Amino acid sequence: MRIVLGVSAGIAAYKACELLRLLTESGHKVRVVPTPAALRFVGAATWAALSGQPVATEPWEDVADVPHVRIGQEADLVLVAPATADIMARAAAGMSDDLLAAVLLTARCPVIFAPAMHTEMWEHAATQANVATLRARGCLVLEPASGRLTGPDTGPGRLPDPSELLAVAERVLARGAGVLTTDLAGRRVLVSAGGTREEIDPVRYIGNWSSGLQGYALARTAAARGADVTLVAANSELADPAGVRVIRVVSAREMYTEMLAAAPSADAVIMAAAVADYRPAARQSVKIKKTGDKPEPVELIENPDILRELVTARQRPGQIIVGFAAETGDVMANAREKLARKGCDLLVVNQVGNGLAFGTADNEAAVLGADGTEVKLPRAPKDQIADSIWDLVAARLS
* Strand stretches in the chain, DSSP E: 2-7, 29-34, 77-83, 111-115, 140-141, 145-148, 154-158, 188-194, 198-199, 205-206, 228-234, 244-249, 268-271, 278-280, 300-302, 320-327, 346-351, 362-369, 374-381
Single out the catalytic residue among 208, 235, 303, 363.
208
**148: Cβ contacts below 8 Å, ≥ 6 apart:** 154, 158
Contact (Cβ atoms closer than 8 angstroms) between residue 155 and residue 149: yes
* 216 Cα distance to chain centroid: 6
In angstroms, the CA 97 to CA 186 distance is 31
* 1 Cα distance to chain centroid: 22
DSSP code for 54: -
DSSP code for 211: -
Tell me if residue 208 is catalytic. Answer: yes
Burial class (CB in 10 A: 0-12, 13-18, 19+), 308: middle
**Catalytic residue ranges:** 208
